[in-house]
Chain A
Amino acid sequence: MSSEFLASGQNVLDSNLGGAWDITNGYAGRKQDLGIARRFGGSAAAYSLRDIGAMNGPVVRVRREPNDTTAGIDDEENFSASQVASGVLEDWVNGKLENTLPADVATAAAAYSLRKVKASYSGPVIRVRRADGAEGDVYFDSDDKLSSNSMVRFSSTESTGSFSVTGNGVQYNTTYTYNTSNGRWEAQGSESSQYYFLDSGTWTLKYAGGALASTVSGEYPWVSTWGPFLSGSVFDTSNIIFGLSDMTIGEFINGTDAFVHTWYDQTDNNDAVQLTSANQPKIAESGTLLDHINFDGNTFMDIGAFLMNATDGHCFMVISNLDTDVETFYISNRSGAKGLNFKNDTGDKGKLQVAFIGSGAITTNNVIIDDVSDNKQLIAFTKDSNDVEFFNNGAVVADDGSSRTYTTATGTANTSIGKQGNSSSASASVKQRIYELITYDTDETDNRFKIESNINNYYNLYNDGNDTSDTEWQFHNTETGTSANGTDGYVFKNSDADVGIASLELKDGVVSGDIIYYSFFYDRTTGSPTVRLASDETDSGSGVSNSDAVGTDTGFISGTLTATGTGSFFMIADNDNPSDFTISNFRMSRIARNGLVETWYDQSSNGNDATQGTATNQPAIVENGGLVTVNSKPAIKFDGTDNYFIMDSEVKFNSSDSDKANTILNVAYIVSGNRSYMGLGSGTNNWFGVPYIDNYRYRDNAGNIINTGDAVPLNQQISFTFVSDESNDIETYQNGTSIHSDNSTFTTHLRIKNIGRSYNGANYNEMSSQEIVFFADDKTSDITDLHNEINNYYGI
């Protein structure tokens, strides 16, 4: 009789419908509706990437690369089966879930932005000056950013200014700008007088001569606090006071330009200030609020402190519209012959440069910034004592390798945005737009991925997934039946001698030394494509990188292309006749993003987790940005070189001891092996070879070897099961069918502690593993149901 407890509805109706459902044992202890790990009498240990008993708890613990070292913010996370399958895990590895704000990832020295970049900051974003001189502090809107809905709040000095009108009818008032020195509202511009008068019950502001002011509250810093009234009514205005009220910045700047007096530092350390109106950068033009601070012409801001002046430092900036024909200082703490300039030098237009005053400049080899481009870019540099490294949109940029000597700035503390620190003005031709500037007095290389991912997620600067300017794959020399699924993948068909090509244009072309990381799932009928970077999307001979062979086996593909020249295309080419294959889940990035498995949780509730605490030995679940899959189901990829897990507790196959595991059910995609699928992990005995010299072979604790004579199908998803009756009768199943029986070779048990490694602790399986379930007992009587369960999910 099957030991399986079937899903509800298939059992006899229980009279005790109110019985408690136990999370471990299911309804009334009969384990209904539980996963395979808990049904069939429960398992000894169970590992899978689907929920077979985890009850929506974690199935894996994943370490992300690039990793961070922020205290209290771990670069390892647990993921449930649904999070693995739904893409949450992949998104986390790719930095798409980075919600920690940059100034909270690590202690920033200064943080300027038009969005909140430090969670605890509650102060204003900027102090804005309107063309007529009115100023106010602008606060974040409800979405923690600067927008037309952001409130402008005026200081008590400005808001207490008022005048009063008395009587009814026409009232004259010749002042409309508050003068703090004399407490009067004073006229400016061409309007020398205004007056309010009651018109059909509404107080209306008119200019001298009777011209109607278009909007009262938007045009001038007043808010009408009453009206309308019935026509003909008498209204005593003797006690009416006009004063400033909070208003939105949209109302405040209505129709005018506006400028930045202060860019507040969200670390509350050092605000960036420009006291001189003519030198103030712009935040609004003709009443339109900008999403950046526009440094146009002789505009700059001063910070009363030396930034990037410590031994180490890290600076992140989001910029656009830089005029590379103008010497432009992003930031500069130069003080006399000391300090540094981060700048665009006209001698190296568009390159990133940090000059250590008195020692020389460190400049990128290649142009990084496009001339006057609307494209926002995240540029960054680290200062590690005397060395500088540059970054652009999350990727490392080659520098010139030279090391300069930094001399600590001293004297009157200042760092300028937009001009050289110790100069009095910026170039009249300066053009740059700045959205965000954050500096640290520490080298944040280890946290760079986290910081930059948060910045990128907000500004959408670069697409970590597929950084291409195409909306879908482009094809050359292919035939009917070829079609693209956006940039995610395509169906490829070709049946002539010409090389068929699929390509994507890189958003930013590569130069020698650039690296592109890629991954995709390859489902092949025929063909043997190769992957490369190229300079001509129609010519596979225009390759400018190494050329990776995709191979002839369906499966998850990942790799690295290193540019040897200049090119603009990611290309997959195939000259097989015919070619017929599908690419899906394509990922491409300049950032190596991998998720390595630290723990494969035991879903049996016995706590026998399989772990790998050594980083370089951890198998991968995300490679180059893509979730490892086999037949569209997640998998853990062992590289065949040094990846393996160690089970918390040893189990014994073909045993009657308390730690027995006499049925072992497996789902995997095997590439190669050498007595290394699983086993003790030391010594020459105690291993399952899947394969060993092509076949399923096993060796017990006494050294007896079973050779099934059955070859292990490689490069395809299979299920295989080992069953023992505890008395040396060993059965092997493959895809639900018994393929071998042996009852005379084994004389004792087989010890298991390692997955992916065995013989002498030196042999490793190359494979993608999806499920391993150890049942304590001989499950021969349930074997059909077990395999049906596997087949129902995996389709094997």
Chain B
Amino acid sequence: MSETINYLVYDTEADAIARADTEGARRGYAYHRVGSGTRYHTYPQVTADSKYALVVNEYGLTEDEASATVTNVTFPTEEE
């Protein structure tokens, strides 16, 4: 059975990246300790309606964030 993917959706890319950065710091990735190397755990993706979705499975979410997560996000469809 596949795992449900939880997203937080942001209006701006900068906000989404900032949240990803915070999680990377929480996990103690190398970039946040020694200034180089792995920085993020996941990275935002642009959605079909030009917002930015961040996969937040395994993130340390606040209560507000947890209640704001969604499981359905539409990404841009392919075109020929």
Chain A residues within 8 Å of B, Cβ to Cβ = 61, 63, 67-69, 71-72, 74-76, 446, 598, 613-618, 684, 759-762
Contacts and interface: CB of A to CB of B under 8 A. Distances in A.
17 contacts: A63-B30, A63-B37, A63-B38, A67-B27, A67-B28, A69-B33, A74-B33, A76-B30, A76-B37, A613-B38, A614-B40, A614-B41, A614-B42, A615-B41, A616-B42, A684-B79, A760-B78
Contact of B76 (A598, A613, A760): A760
Contact of B40 (A67, A68, A446, A613): A613
A613 B39 contact: yes
A759 B76 CA distance: 11
Given A615-B29, A760-B76, A760-B78, A72 B34 contact: yes
Given A74-B30, A613-B31, A762-B76, A61 B37 contact: yes
Contacts of B34: 72, 74
Interface in B31-70: 31, 33-34, 37-43, 45, 55
A765 to B, nearest CB: 16
A614 B33 contact: no
Contacts of A69: 27-28, 33
A616 B39 CA distance: 11
A61 B38 CA distance: 10
Nearest to B58: A616
B13 to A, nearest CB: 13
Given A613-B31, A615-B29, A762-B75, A598 B41 contact: no
A761 B33 CA distance: 29
Contacts of B29: 63, 67, 615
B28 A613 contact: no
B2 to A, nearest CB: 12
Most buried by A among B38, B41, B45, B78: B38
Interface of B: 20, 24, 27-31, 33-34, 37-43, 45, 55, 75-76, 78-79
Contacts, number: 62
A67 B43 CA distance: 19
B8 to A, nearest CB: 15
Contacts of A446: 28
Contacts of B42: 614-617
A68 B28 CA distance: 8
Contacts of A615: 24, 27, 29, 38, 40-42
A616 B20 CA distance: 12
A71 B30 CA distance: 9
Nearest to B55: A616
A683 to B, nearest CB: 10
Contacts of B75: 762
Given A613-B39, A616-B42, A760-B78, 9 more contacts: A63-B29, A69-B33, A74-B37, A75-B30, A76-B30, A76-B38, A613-B38, A613-B40, A762-B45
A629 B55 CA distance: 30
Contacts of B37: 61, 63, 74, 76, 598, 613
B37 to A, nearest CB: 5
B64 to A, nearest CB: 22
B5 to A, nearest CB: 11
A617 B43 CA distance: 9
A759 B79 CA distance: 10
A614 B76 CA distance: 21
Given A63-B30, A74-B33, A614 B78 contact: no
Contacts of B39: 613-614
Contacts of A613: 31, 37-40
B24 to A, nearest CB: 8
A69 B27 CA distance: 7
A759 B28 CA distance: 32
A664 to B, nearest CB: 25
Contacts of B20: 614
Nearest to A613: B39
Nearest to B29: A615
B73 to A, nearest CB: 12
A613 B31 CA distance: 8
Most buried by A among B20, B30, B45: B30
Contacts of B78: 684, 759-760, 762
A72 B78 CA distance: 45
B33 A71 contact: yes
A315 to B, nearest CB: 22
A615 B27 CA distance: 11
Contacts of A71: 33
B38 A614 contact: yes
Nearest to B76: A760
Nearest to A68: B28
A446 B30 CA distance: 13
Nearest to B20: A614
**Interface pairs A-B: 8 shortest CB-CB:** A69-B28, A614-B40, A613-B39, A614-B43, A76-B30, A76-B37, A615-B41, A63-B38
B28 A598 contact: no
A514 to B, nearest CB: 19
A604 B78 CA distance: 36
Contacts of B31: 613
Contacts of B40: 613-615
A735 B29 CA distance: 40
Contacts of B38: 63, 76, 598, 613-615, 618
B39 to A, nearest CB: 4
Contacts of B24: 615
Nearest to A617: B43
A71 B38 CA distance: 15
A593 B30 CA distance: 18
A645 B31 CA distance: 17
A68 B30 CA distance: 9
A67 B75 CA distance: 31
Nearest to B26: A69
A71 B28 CA distance: 9
Contacts of B55: 616
A27 to B, nearest CB: 34
Contacts of A72: 33-34
A761 B42 CA distance: 15
B44 to A, nearest CB: 10
Contacts of A617: 42-43
A69 B38 CA distance: 12
B3 to A, nearest CB: 13
A759 B11 CA distance: 23
B72 to A, nearest CB: 17
Contacts of A63: 29-30, 37-38
Contacts of A598: 30, 37-38
Nearest to B44: A614
A446 B75 CA distance: 34
Contacts of A614: 20, 38-43
Contacts of B30: 63, 74-76, 598
A684 B33 CA distance: 37
Most buried by B among A63, A76, A617, A759: A76
Contacts of B43: 614, 617
Contacts of B45: 761-762
A71 B34 CA distance: 8
Contacts of A618: 38
A684 B78 CA distance: 8
